[in-house]
């Protein structure tokens, strides 16, 4: 077994992977809560809490939290997604105890005072403004909102100025009580450390936690096929075209990864070579597939001048229709498999990647596939598989589009998309 797992009596899960040839250890504390768990009224609260845990504890100021791992060359950070939040550190193996002490101090003894909450609110509001000024990022949230209209998965993780402004420290404390509970926690550790060392260190700290909190009731989003555009005086149009994708536990996910790699997953992909290299219509074009507990999203992004939009859309749909009809070529299939396997195996030279794979896989799947198992699944993908799955994925009536640029209305884009759907 390439990893080991221990479940504490209160439900906290500890996963470890020993990597003996390195001098480092990565530690992640994963909480199974994200923006999907929020209501319309408290949107952004999961991300807000992530910020607050760095603002000081009963034992450390915010400056001390920042300084203590810096002083030993370590790293400390966190991130919030639509379905989980992660706090993590990377240190030399000799400083593992320090990393544990700091992360548990933040998690268990955070001040979250009224004064600090109000001060940090201004920081997050500035972050939202910064995000609004980054159309190449903002358009992906617009696309999620377009395809999952009215569902929490369609909301931005960061929230809105209105919802963040309405939150207070009592809201944050209550939310943590409901969701930062043992049954929602996974701890993953990878590096030069044994499973026994990790469990002996963490069990006394996490084993005494109590509470089950609120059980997540997943409601799969209904797909809406529409066009959403925002008028903004940008030099480039930023657009995303796509359709619903697959959940992370779907057995077809590896076929979708191959399709994505061939279509727009790199510099050798069809879209990059055809639209940028051969035609010079864009600076950036790529595709991506994101998976969640019960659904997914497949998107194609392009940044380009307004006069090139229709031609680029035609070329995008030309490649999609070709893959649906003919699949990928045998040469493309082998190249995609080699690219995916290479990316996977090269990434595993980082203990952070090992730690992330343990935590995320446990949250979503309740198990962790070995690299060898993943490679085997990729090797089984055939040309015929790509035809079958592309036909399921790229159904004409399921395509949606979001765009930011100098538009007076969405009519022109909607007509173009409707024409290409046929």
3-class secondary structure, 216:
coil
- Which residue, 128, 148, 147, is CA-closest to 138? 128
Within 208-306, residue ranges assigned H as helices are 253-264, 270-271
Is residue 126 part of the annotated active site? The answer reads: no
* Burial environment of residue 133 by CB neighbours within 10 A (0 to 12, 13 to 18, 19 or more): exposed
Contact 46, 34 (CB under 8 A): yes
Residue found by looking up tokens 């690219």 in the block:
339
What does the block give as tokens for 384? Answer: 């015929």
CA distance 14 to 389: 36
**How many other C-beta atoms can be found within 10 angstroms of the C-beta atom of residue 335?**
18
> Of 38, 50, 120, 319, which is the active-site residue?
50
- Which residue, 369, 366, 367, 362, is CA-closest to 86? 362
CA distance 422 to 402: 19
With the C-alpha atoms ordered 297, 300, 305, 306, is the resulting torsion angle positive or negative?
Answer: negative
Contact 263, 270 (CB under 8 A): yes
CA distance 16 to 294: 27
Which residues are part of the catalytic machinery?
Answer: 50
């Amino acid at each position: 077994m390439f990893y080991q797992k221990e479940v504490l009596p209160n439900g906290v899960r500890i996963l470890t992977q020993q990597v003996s040839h390195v001098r480092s250890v990565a530690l992640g504390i994963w909480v199974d809560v994200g923006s999907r768990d929020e209501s319309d009224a408290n949107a952004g609260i999961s991300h807000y809490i992530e910020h607050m845990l760095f603002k000081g504890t009963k034992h450390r100021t915010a400056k001390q939290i920042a300084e203590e791992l810096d002083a030993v060359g370590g790293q400390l950070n966190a991130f919030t997604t639509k379905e989980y939040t992660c706090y993590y550190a990377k240190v030399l193996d000799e400083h593992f105890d320090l990393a544990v002490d700091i992360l548990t101090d933040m998690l268990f003894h955070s001040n979250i005072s009224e004064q600090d909450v109000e001060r940090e609110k201004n920081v997050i509001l500035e972050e939202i403004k910064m995000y609004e000024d980054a159309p190449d990022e903002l358009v992906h949230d617009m696309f999620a909102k377009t395809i999952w209209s009215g569902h929490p998965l369609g909301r931005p993780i960061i929230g809105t100025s209105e919802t963040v402004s309405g939150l207070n420290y009592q809201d944050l404390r209550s939310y943590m009580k409901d969701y930062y509970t043992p049954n929602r926690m996974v701890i993953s550790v990878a590096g030069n450390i044994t499973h026994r060392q990790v469990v002996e260190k963490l069990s006394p700290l996490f084993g005494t936690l109590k509470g089950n909190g609120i059980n997540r009731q997943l409601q799969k989003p209904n797909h809406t096929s529409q066009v959403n555009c925002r008028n903004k005086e940008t030099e480039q149009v930023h657009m995303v075209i796509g359709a619903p994708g697959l959940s992370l536990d779907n057995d077809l996910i590896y076929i979708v990864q191959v399709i994505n790699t061939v279509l727009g997953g790199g510099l050798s992909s069809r879209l990059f070579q055809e639209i940028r290299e051969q035609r010079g219509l864009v600076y950036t074009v790529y595709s991506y597939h994101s998976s969640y507990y019960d659904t997914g999203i497949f998107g194609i992004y392009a940044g380009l001048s307004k006069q090139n939009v229709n031609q680029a859309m035609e070329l995008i749909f030309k490649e999609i229709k070709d893959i649906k009809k003919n699949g990928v070529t045998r040469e493309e299939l082998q190249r995609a498999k080699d690219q995916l396997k290479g990316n996977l195996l090269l990434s595993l030279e980082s203990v952070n990647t090992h730690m992330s794979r343990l935590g995320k896989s446990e949250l979503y799947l309740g198990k962790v596939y070995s690299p060898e198992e993943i490679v085997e699944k990729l090797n089984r993908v055939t040309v015929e598989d790509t035809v079958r799955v592309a036909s399921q994925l790229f159904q004409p009536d399921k395509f949606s589009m979001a765009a930011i640029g100098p538009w007076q209305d969405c009519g022109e884009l909607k007509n173009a998309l409707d024409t290409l759907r046929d």
